[in-house]
Structure formats: structure tokens, C-alpha cells
Structure 1
Amino acid sequence: MSTPTSPQAERYQLFQRAGSTKWQMRFSVRGQGQLKRSLDTDDRGEAERRADAIWYEATYRAKQGLTARAHGFEAVAEEYIAQIHREVERGERRTDQGKSEPAMIRRFFIGYFGSKPVDAITDTDLERYAEWRRTYWTEGPGKLIEHIEYERDGHRLRRPVRRSAPSISRQRGETVVLRALLRWASRQGYLKTPPEISIKARRAPDNRRPSFEPHEFARLEAASLSRLVDPIMDGKGAEVRASDRRSWRIKRLDDHTRRDRTLLHAYVMIGAFSGLRPTEMYNLTWGDVLGYRAGRHKPVDQRDIRLQVRGKGKSGKAIPQKAAIPWFDTLWMLFQRSMGREPQDTDPVFASEQGKRVSSVANGFTELLKAAGLERDHRGIKRTPYSLRHFYISEQLANGAEVMDVARNCRTSLVMIDKHYGQVRLERVADRLRPEWTRA
């Protein structure tokens, strides 16, 4: 290749297209063929100065192993999106990645970096991007967006925008995609070495789902059972306060209240001894309780059931503790009393007096927690029906069940078990932490 002191004609050629006074240049780079660039001027001297600058930059980039021409981030990102679609078609990526990642790249990455040369992105740019992303929906471009449109099963849907910073896990997930994009660009020769992406996701507060300690669950169970009997034991009855500040005392439960509390108690016991998610429990039908009809009249210790569950986009079988079986009997009895017939396979397990699926027990569960003095855990975090699942998993781990078996039975991953459900107090596994060889 010519040296910088070579005649201009050996480095590049200037020319004008027919019908245009603007100068253009063409030159060749070893291994990259001939390149043409518009100089956007009709002055010959200025054209030569611009051509020199372009030629020197191109030859320097070529010596560094880069493409002779700088590429804007947007163009590179669109090439990467096309690569994602090809990999989805070949089965090398999940189908959902072919939808979620391009949308993420266009909204956030291209939205911030735009046409900036991809090889000019620095660590500082990435730090600034991270802060811009955290405030996108509250202070940035997203504050003007009212809803997000997406496609599901061939239908165009929309959802409202959540005006908050992205979660820690989402920030990390987006960082993974951005890192993959820049590494791909490096392999294509668009930049020499990808900048070091060290976006530090700020540590989130401890928001793991609250559970129950065994003594707390025993208190919850006792409080629930006490609410099933008539409140006349002290001779005064139970005081009830209305939202309008009226108050009165009741001495006997009406049938409707007693039924609701009985169903709630069965819900608590089944949730605690099966580990089902709330949505999985709501979706249960009697046809999903496998083996129940065949053993209904046998003693509990001679019965066994499996649960065919659906929820959160997942399905599978769950093996509950036998302690859950009597509470299926209770729900069967409630259905019979309300409907005057045995449940059919298509009838919901958690059913109202009209035989309809109970959509939520959240309010009743909160009232029960208040009655037991267990509304919040030791961190002050409010308990929810999901806490029953957490209790089940924690108890399984504390009592020696294999983590892999628990994860499979609960239709979750080992990572999620460790992140959300591994809160087992050291005091409860003290014996496992003191193997025989250390004991006096």
C-alpha cells in the first residue's frame, strides 16, 4: 500500500459524476476491495483535504484489523437483529428471543446510541447509558409513552407503562444482550475490542418472598381453626368494626362466613403441604387431583394423590404431602353441600357456593394473618398467599429433601430456589453443619 508521501493519484482518485459538481473519491484497501465516498464539496482543494483525511483514517483502521469505514451503532444493531432472526429460524435461539431482544435493542440501545460509530463507544458512554436506562420511563423518552404494544398468539395487545426503574434482574438481562451485540460487532470487524461493560446494577433491597417459621405456621393454623367456631366462648362474642366506624358483636357465625373460612383454611393447608403457586391452586379442577376418587373412602395413610397443575406458563405434576389429602376431602364436602351433587372432573377444587371458581383468597388471607398477628415477617415485608409456597420449599430443604427434587416438584429452577426460597435459618440445620467427625 502507498505511503503517506506517495503521490495523491496512487492513494485515491477524485471524480465527479455526470450531471453533478460534487467531488467524490474512490480507493482500494487490501482485503476489503474498492470503496467510494462522497466528499460533499465542489471545491477541488477542499475535496483533496477531505479525501486525504478519509484515506488516512481508512488505512489506519485497516492496519488495526477493522473495516476501513466506521459503522454507526444503529446499522450494526439492525444487522445483529437480522442475525437473531436467522438463528431463531434455524432453531439456535428460542422463539421468544426473536421478539423480545429486537424490541429491547431498538427501544433502548438504538434509542440511546443512535448513529454514533460503534467503535467510538467508550466505558463512559456505557455508564451514562445505564443511568439513562434507569430513568427511561420516569424522566426520559418513555415518560411520554402511554402504553406498550406487543403480539401474543397472533393478536396485537397493549399494556400500560410501568413508571418505575427496571428491576435489578432486568438491568442485568439487558446488559447481557448489549454485551453480546458488541462482541458480535467485534467479530464482524466493526470495532477492535468491545468496551468493558461493567454496568453495576445497584443492589436491591432484600425483597425475597416472606415465609413462615414452623412455630409461626402453627400459630397461623391455630388462628384459622379458632375462626371456624362460634365466638361465644367468653360470653361476649367477637367485636366487628365497619369502615364507617360502626361496631357490633357477633356470637354466632353465619353459614356463608363459616363456609368461606373453612375454604380458606383448606387453601392454607393445601398450599403449605403442596408448594403450589396461587395461580396453580386457582386453576385446579377435580380431574387434576389424580388418584383422589379411587381412594376417597380409604384411610389417609393408605391414599396417595398427584396434582396436575397449570399456571405461570408452566404445567406438570406435583407430589403433595399426605397432610394435604384431608383438606381435599373438606373441599369435596363443601361442594357437595352447596351444589347437592359430587364434583365432576371439570369442577374447580376451590369453588364458591354457586360452584364457580374462586378467583382470589387474598383479602381473606390478609384478615387471617392479622388475626394471627403474622401480617408481616421479621423484615416488615407483607406476607401473601405465595408465602405458603415459600414455607413448603423452605421446610422441604430444612428437612433434607434434595434441592433438585424440590425444584422439579415445584416447577422452578435451582437458581430461583437459591434466590427466593433458600432462606433456611442456620439454627434449623445445625446438625447438618456438625458432621460426626467434629463432635466430641
Structure 2
Amino acid sequence: MGSEAVHFVNGKPVAVVYDMAHTKALYIRVKNSGQKGWKSKAAGTSNHDEAKNRAIAWYFEREGDLKAGFQLKSKQFKDVAEAFLDNYKSNMDAGLPKHSATAYAEKKALIHRYFLPFFGDMGIDRVGKAGIEDYIKFRMTFWEKRIGAGDDFIEYERGGRTIKRRVKEGKPSAATIKRENATLKQIFDYAQDQGWLTLAHKPKVMDIGGRSEKRPAFTRKQMQLILGKSWQRKSDKKLARTVVHYRDQLALYIAFLYYTGIRPGEEANAIKWKHLQTDLDEANNEVRMIVVNAERAGKTKGSARKVIPKGGLWTVLDYYRAKQALFCMDDDYIFCTYEGDKIHSMKKAFSRYMDELGVTHDAYGKPYSLYSLRHSYATHNIKELGAWIIAKNMGHSDVKMLEKHYAHDTPVDHHDKLS
């Protein structure tokens, strides 16, 4: 093997070109400031002069990186992301707060579906502002490109089962991007904590959409219509028993969300009859309450909360359990299938009902959803109960989220104070 030093610093060689006895290919190696050993790679050419120029250029490129604060051997994003997942799971298994199986599954899915395909082999400290901007563009068109290529289904894990559903057309909302970016930020924070990324090179993860908008809530007049009509939809005696059951379930679900502010989906769906409990207040008076997240899979320890419903929900619940419920034992789910299993989702049934009523969008063109019942709870009760009580009932740690997303009261709601 022959070698030639092609650049010197303080009389010592720092860039070398060499060849191997068994091949005509040339190789280069450099030794940068503060580096103990040499770094080598193929020159990519068999021309000695060209290899010499490349060795010198590589040396100065690495010197520039060092002066800019970059690590010469950057940790690849994919390695950091996997290490982040392993660390999260270890914390979850150890029972640390705010580390749940549900959140772990969501983060894992995000990392493998979006982050790794884009950032993959990129050095964690080389992402920068441009990398984040390019990622946002990639994410905004991700499913449009997949659908265009004929790949319009998505698979994910839920409750130990693999779920496959058709992808929704259109770009992700600002709220979706913000929620996903929270995990991306955590990965960069973890890299900094491990010493793989300096603060100077940690990129700022931008969200989209500018100022957050309040979510749509129903008016009081709309809620009177929605609640009233919901129980009348089963009056046709020709309806099958299964249809009657599901229409009853939807009517109860609507009332339940509107009078409690509980989150639709897993939070409401996991509630059993035994979670309707009684406790004593400071004056030893019995108080009926609903215990939320008591057994919900993946929730962190201590996340269960006691909710006091508003209005006449107890009368509705007691009557339904005594007269209409097909499954009413303590360990039965309140919201269940005709066979007694926990119901998966009420989204489609609620959407069809809204279409029947012609109540699909608010005055600003925003579509209503089951979450609009939760938002309506906050809007219609904040004046009477106050932001703190509403926030605690809804499961927020403070009133910031309530003020930012849920409060819809207007001067009309406070006319008594203004007139």
C-alpha cells in the first residue's frame, strides 16, 4: 500500500491519499482538530490529483463543521428516534406519569409512518430550519401522493387489533400537525438531553395555520332540537330491535356528552355502569358522580377523575338502565353493541343524524362533530359554573385550553350584565 500526505498543519499530516495493494481504487483519510484517530473513505476516483483535491476539501469541510459546532459523527435521526421510543417504553413500564401505552403506540406509528421516511439517515444536528420546512411540505401532501398512487388505506393498532381504514382526502388540519409535531419536538429534546444535539443546532419545529381558532359548538336552540329529536327516532314500530337499540344508544350518548363534557371516543366508550358512583361532600351529603378513565387501557396512573353531570342526566341514565338497556349489570358498558361489547365509535351514526336534521356546519362553515357536544357543554355552562369547575370536569389541568379552544359565549350570553 502506498500513501502520500497532501496537507499539513503545524508540520503534521492531516490529509492523506493512499491505495490498497489488491485494488486500483484510491482512498483518502483525514485527521481533524481534536480528533484522536483518522477518518477514512473511498476517494471515488482513480485519478491521483483529483483524489488529492478531494482529501483536502474533505478536511476543510469537516473543520468548518467543527467551527460551526456540528459533531463530526452525527447521530442519525433514525437511531435517535428508536432510542427515544425505547426510553419512552422503559419509563412507561416503570410507571412514570404521562407515559401510557396508548401514547407510546401513537408515537411509534408517527415515527415509522412520517418521520423516518423523511428524516431517516439525516444527521440529527443537520436537520435545521430548512429540513423542518421541507418536512412540513412532505407531511401536508403525504396522503395526497399515496392516494394518487392507489395506496389509499392506512393500518394502525388499537386495543390489540390491527385496524384498516380508508384515508380521508384533503390535507391534515393545523390541529393534527400540531399534535404530531409535539412528538417530533420530544425527539429533538431527547437528542439534546443525550448530548447528540446542541441547543444551537436544535431546529424549531413549526406548526401551521397561525392563530388557533375556537372549535364549533351548537347553539342552545340547536341543542334543544338535537336532544328532543334523538329520542323520537325509534318511534316507528316497524324498526328492527337492533336499530332501536342503536338509536337509543346514540340519543343517550348525545345527552351524556352534552351534560358532562366528557371526551367522545375512548373516554366515554370505556365507562361502565359501575362507574356511576356516590360519594360524600364536606357536609356529608351524598353526591352522585361519574368516574372517568377508571379502567381505560393505556391511561397513566392517577388520570381518573370524578365528573358531576349537569342538568337532568341522572334521570335519563336511571330510566335508561331500568327500562331500555339490554345490558345493565355493573360490569357492562353503558355504550355497547347489540351483543354487549364495548362500542367502537358513534361518529358515523351521529353524522347521519346531523344530516337528517340539516345541522352540519356552524355559521362560519365549520363542520360539527361529536366534539361539538363537548364544546357546547363548556360554552353553555361557563357563565354559571365558572372556567375552573368546567375545566376540571372536562379533564384539563388549568383553564388555558378552555379559554383557547372551548369558550364560545358572546355578549348575548351576558346580556343581563350589559343591559
Return closer, same or farther for 1:387/1:313 CA change in 2, 3 Å cut-off. farther
Q: Counterpart of 1:409 in structure 2: which amino acid? A: N
**Structure 2 match to 1:288:** 275
Structure 1 position 84, deviation (Å)? 1.0
Structure 1 position 133, deviation (Å)? 2.0
1:10 match: secondary structure: strand
**Structure 2 match to 1:51:** 55
Return closer, same or farther for 1:273/1:49 CA change in 2, 3 Å cut-off. closer
Q: Counterpart of 1:29 in structure 2: which amino acid? A: N
**Structure 1 match to 2:174:** 168
Q: Counterpart of 1:171 in structure 2: which amino acid? A: I
Q: Counterpart of 1:61 in structure 2: which amino acid? A: D
Q: Distance in 1 between matches of 2:202 and 2:262?
A: 44
Does the 8 A contact of 1:210 with 1:390 survive in 2?
A: yes
Which of 389, 408, 412 aligns to 1:427? It is: 412
**Structure 2 match to 1:299:** none
1:33 match: secondary structure: coil
Which of 7, 11, 22 aligns to 2:25? It is: 22
Does the 8 A contact of 1:88 with 1:94 survive in 2?
A: yes
Equivalent residue runs for 1:342-381 within 5 Å: 343-346=328-331, 377-381=362-366
Structure 2-normalised TM-score?
Answer: 0.68
Q: Distance in 1 between matches of 2:81 and 2:108?
A: 6
**Structure 1 match to 2:117:** 111
Which of 291, 305, 313 aligns to 2:288? It is: 305
**Structure 1 match to 2:282:** none
Return closer, same or farther for 1:64/1:289 CA change in 2, 3 Å cut-off. closer
Structure 1 position 52, deviation (Å)? 1.9
1:236-291 CA-partner distances (Å, limit 9, x unpaired): xxxxxxxxxxxxxxxx975979x888887666555443334555666554433325
1:11 match: secondary structure: strand
Which of 112, 118, 140 aligns to 1:134? It is: 140
- Segments of structure 1 that go 5 or more residues without pairing to the other structure are 229-251, 293-301
Which of 62, 66, 71 aligns to 2:66? It is: 62
Structure 1 position 105, deviation (Å)? 4.4
**Structure 2 match to 1:33:** 36
**Structure 2 match to 1:94:** 99
Percent identity between matched residues is 20
Does the 8 A contact of 2:76 with 2:120 survive in 1?
A: no
Does the 8 A contact of 1:210 with 1:387 survive in 2?
A: yes
Equivalent residue runs for 1:37-436 within 5 Å: 37-38=40-41, 39-67=43-71, 69=72, 71=74, 76-85=76-85, 87-88=87-88, 91=91, 94=99, 100-101=106-107, 103-105=109-111, 107-112=113-118, 123-139=129-145, 143=149, 145-151=151-157, 158-178=164-184, 184=191, 193-194=200-201, 197=204, 199=206, 201-203=208-210, 208-213=215-220, 215-218=221-224, 254=237, 269-277=255-263, 279=265, 284-291=271-278, 304-309=287-292, 316-321=305-310, 323-335=312-324, 343-346=328-331, 377-381=362-366, 383=368, 386-403=371-388, 405-412=389-396, 414=398, 416-429=401-414
Q: Counterpart of 2:50 in structure 1: which amino acid? A: E
Return closer, same or farther for 1:334/1:150 CA change in 2, 3 Å cut-off. closer
Does the 8 A contact of 1:331 with 1:350 survive in 2?
A: no
2:31 match: secondary structure: strand
Q: Counterpart of 1:170 in structure 2: which amino acid? A: T
Does the 8 A contact of 2:263 with 2:371 survive in 1?
A: yes
Q: Distance in 2 between matches of 1:182 and 1:281?
A: 34
1:131 match: secondary structure: helix
1:153-174 CA-partner distances (Å, limit 9, x unpaired): 6666655444432221232344
Structure 1 position 397, deviation (Å)? 1.0
1:307 match: secondary structure: strand
Q: Distance in 2 between matches of 1:168 and 1:28?
A: 47
1:15 match: secondary structure: strand
State the Cα RMSD in Å. 5.1
Return closer, same or farther for 1:19/1:101 CA change in 2, 3 Å cut-off. farther
Q: Distance in 1 between matches of 2:202 and 2:141?
A: 23
Return closer, same or farther for 1:86/1:142 CA change in 2, 3 Å cut-off. farther
- Segments of structure 2 that go 5 or more residues without pairing to the other structure are 280-284
1:20-55 CA-partner distances (Å, limit 9, x unpaired): 333334443332212232324444333322222222
Q: Distance in 1 between matches of 2:164 and 2:353?
A: 34
Q: Distance in 1 between matches of 2:251 and 2:121?
A: 60
Q: Distance in 1 between matches of 2:197 and 2:229?
A: 66
Q: Distance in 1 between matches of 2:22 and 2:278?
A: 86
1:12 match: secondary structure: strand
**Structure 2 match to 1:249:** none
Structure 1 position 135, deviation (Å)? 0.7
1:287-322 CA-partner distances (Å, limit 9, x unpaired): 333259xxxxxxxxx974222345796654322236
Q: Distance in 2 between matches of 1:320 and 1:143?
A: 48
Return closer, same or farther for 1:325/1:159 CA change in 2, 3 Å cut-off. closer
Does the 8 A contact of 1:84 with 1:98 survive in 2?
A: no
Return closer, same or farther for 1:53/1:186 CA change in 2, 3 Å cut-off. farther
Q: Counterpart of 1:307 in structure 2: which amino acid? A: I
Higher alpha-carbon deviation: 389-398 or 82-91 = 82-91
Q: Counterpart of 1:80 in structure 2: which amino acid? A: V
Structure 1-normalised TM-score?
Answer: 0.65
Q: Distance in 2 between matches of 1:268 and 1:6?
A: 76
Q: Counterpart of 1:94 in structure 2: which amino acid? A: H
